[in-house]
Structure 1
Amino acid sequence: MTHDNGARTLLSADDLVEQYRLDLERQRKPAHTVRAYLGDVRAFLGHFEREGGSHFPGGVRTADVRGYLSALKRAEAKPATIHRRRAGLASFFRWAVAAQHCRESPVAGLELHRLAPLEQPLRRALDVRDKRRFLRTVQEHGTLRDRAVCELLVATAIREDELVHVKLEDLELGERRGWVKVNGKGSRQRTLPLHRDVRRVLTTWLAARPALGDYLFPGRYGDALNTSSIRRLVDKYERLSGVAGVSPHVLRHTTLTELVRRKKHDIALVAAVAGHAKLATTAIYVQPNMQDLEAAVDSLMED
């Protein structure tokens, strides 16, 4: 039996997903978020059609979504995976309602805690020794651009998708002080001060930077670099340094974790650096990570 949740769209499911992808990109969502959300929608769509569902998305009921998430639980999917799948579907149906492909979201109001307990994933962060080893490798083997990119990632905890959109006009470099303006999630802008060592690296890069476009780190034709270029850059020095598990996101977590846990800065200050809208998001850096747990277990054997 079908469920009438809006006008029957003339678009195919594939066309709808493609329109959703374009909307996510217009919102400047990170590339990894776009991939994850599209994967979540396609995975649900496959389940929905196998179960005999039709007229996507207007024909989707809350019971269909609940049944899908319950099926994931029976298949022993991790709670974090189930929560992410729900988040991806919630995002899609918010868009579908706004675009008038359905009247209401079948995900809204779904009580997820009855499906799976929420587990907070442990965030990976480099210890001080590994962070220094990684940066030393970049210093010794990196180009001027690569050094500037990695120093800025570590010094400011900037997101990779924020970094590629920094323009020359967003940067202020002086002898005694300097800062970078960052356009973050939800169109929130923040200004981050730059340490003198980072200002020196950036000044050197600007002197050698090709005269292409307005971006601090321009692509081949002067447009913004793709975030995948930043990930490949970091991957290169991860391999050279021998420090496992380094990524732009890990460098961000490393800096924020160090500010909260080792430097003992106020969590509200760290939230401002991170560009978090809610303090609860920053609170994850107060929680123990795997290195903390390993150190605690090792300490039991030291007495």
Structure 2
Amino acid sequence: MTASNLETWIERFLDELIERRGRSRNTVEAYRSDLQQFLRLLPSVVENGQLPAEWRAVRSTHIRAYLGLLRSQGLSPASLNRKLVALRGFFDFLLENGQVSEDPMSAIRAVASSQPQTTLLTFDEVFRLLHAAEEDVSPIGLRDRAILELLYTTGMRASELLALNLEDLDLEAGTVQCGVELRRRVLPLSRPAREAVVAYLEKGRPSLVKAKENTEQPALFVNTRGQRMSRQGLWSRLKYYAKKAGISKPISPQSLRNSFAVHLLHMGVAPNVVQERLGNSSLASVRNLRNLGDSLPNGFVLSQLSERLVID
């Protein structure tokens, strides 16, 4: 099989992406670039230094060597993983069409990032952030305090928090249900989180929804227009309290989620328990968090945060 025949199967795969899978032109062109690069560099990573006669001659060892070559050129883990996505889709296509008898990508794992993806907060910074939200007793302040308490003390995602409805709360049982469809999970509410939510429901939320005659709004967290709070609104308020707490590092809802996981691990909670709290996170990724973050804080701060993390 010549190089042109190898390229023919790349083109057939790209046509498949457009005609049957509905991928955008930009996505297809990105796949084209990644696959053509792989074909171009393939001779430099095979044993005889020549282009294989057919795709079934490609082995996982060749792909690992290809990744090593790209890594030596300074490509980031994110860029490497993007190229792996293209290769996985392509070899799946070849397997379906009888061009390979085994998928060489089955033995290839995603490239791990050497750096945490988001900023971690220290125990002291989390304490200062939560304390900064306690001073405002306006409807917005009560809402924001409940939001920050839930984000840190449950480890839920920003999307999960914003999607919460009133019916997801069980204040008598001290739980909140979040997630989507089959991945929904029930999380415990700490005493401070429960108190913050109750205060918001009793003294904050009614003013926000009544002001716009939107009393049937199912969303737990609403904005000043009585509508479900947006992601932009959440980020804006988080940045406001970070500045108020004197935290100069850039933080996001994911920062609180990761900090929640790291702090639980530092307090001796088993990785599998942390995995269950986070939902849809691999156990390996949770274990990797154990070496991140700071050491345990002084007794006062530790006692305040231990109460919030609901350690069984």
Measured against the shorter chain, the TM-score band is: 0.5 to 0.7
CA 1:290 to 1:154, structure 2 compared with 1: closer, same or farther past 3 Å? closer
CA contact (8 A) 1:217 1:224 kept: yes
CA contact (8 A) 1:171 1:179 kept: yes
Q: Give the equivalent residue in structure 2 for 1:267.
A: 271
**Deviation at 1:283?**
1.0
The 5 A counterparts of 1:195-214 are 195-207=190-202, 208-209=204-205, 210=209, 211=215, 213-214=217-218
SS in 1 for 2:273: helix
CA 1:90 to 1:240, structure 2 compared with 1: closer, same or farther past 3 Å? farther
CA distance in 2, matches of 1:198, 1:145: 11
CA contact (8 A) 1:157 1:273 kept: yes
CA distance in 1, matches of 2:262, 2:149: 17
CA contact (8 A) 1:188 1:275 kept: yes
Counterpart residue identity of residue 8, structure 2: H
CA 1:282 to 1:150, structure 2 compared with 1: closer, same or farther past 3 Å? same
SS in 2 for 1:4: helix
The 5 A counterparts of 1:149-188 are 149-174=147-172, 177-183=173-179, 187-188=182-183
CA contact (8 A) 2:34 2:83 kept: no
**Deviation at 1:282?**
1.9
**Deviation at 1:46?**
5.2
CA RMSD of aligned residues (A): 4.4
CA 1:42 to 1:127, structure 2 compared with 1: closer, same or farther past 3 Å? farther
**Deviation at 1:84?**
3.5
Structure 1 regions of 5+ residues with no counterpart?
20-37, 54-59, 293-303
**Deviation at 1:68?**
8.8
Q: Give the equivalent residue in structure 2 for 1:77.
A: 75
Q: Give the equivalent residue in structure 2 for 1:27.
A: none
CA distance in 1, matches of 2:36, 2:8: 14
Q: Give the equivalent residue in structure 1 for 2:245.
A: 241
1:4 pairs with 5, 9, 34, which one?
A: 9
**Deviation at 1:251?**
0.6
1:202-229 CA deviation, whole Å, 9 max, x = no partner? 1122233213532212467776544333
In terms of Rg, which structure is larger?
2
Q: Which deviates further from its counterpart, 202-211 or 243-252?
A: 202-211
CA 1:203 to 1:278, structure 2 compared with 1: closer, same or farther past 3 Å? same
1:44-91 CA deviation, whole Å, 9 max, x = no partner? 5555689999xxxxxx9989x99996775354123x224442465478
CA contact (8 A) 2:165 2:219 kept: yes
CA 1:198 to 1:224, structure 2 compared with 1: closer, same or farther past 3 Å? same
Aligned residues: 253
Matched, 1:227 2:221: no
SS in 1 for 2:156: coil
**Deviation at 1:159?**
0.8
SS in 1 for 2:9: coil
SS in 2 for 1:180: strand
Q: When the two structures are superposed, what TM-score results if normalisation uses the length of structure 2?
A: 0.63
CA distance in 1, matches of 2:66, 2:157: 32
Counterpart residue identity of residue 128, structure 1: F
**Deviation at 1:140?**
2.4
Q: Give the equivalent residue in structure 1 for 2:262.
A: 257
CA distance in 1, matches of 2:73, 2:250: 28
* Identity value in percent: 22
CA distance in 2, matches of 1:42, 1:250: 34
CA distance in 2, matches of 1:48, 1:151: 46
1:289 pairs with 285, 292, 302, which one?
A: 292
CA contact (8 A) 1:217 1:225 kept: yes
Counterpart residue identity of residue 81, structure 1: A
CA 1:137 to 1:87, structure 2 compared with 1: closer, same or farther past 3 Å? farther
CA 1:109 to 1:284, structure 2 compared with 1: closer, same or farther past 3 Å? same
Q: Give the equivalent residue in structure 2 for 1:31.
A: none
CA 1:126 to 1:67, structure 2 compared with 1: closer, same or farther past 3 Å? same
The 5 A counterparts of 1:185-196 are 187-196=182-191
Structure 2 regions of 5+ residues with no counterpart?
41-54, 210-214, 296-312
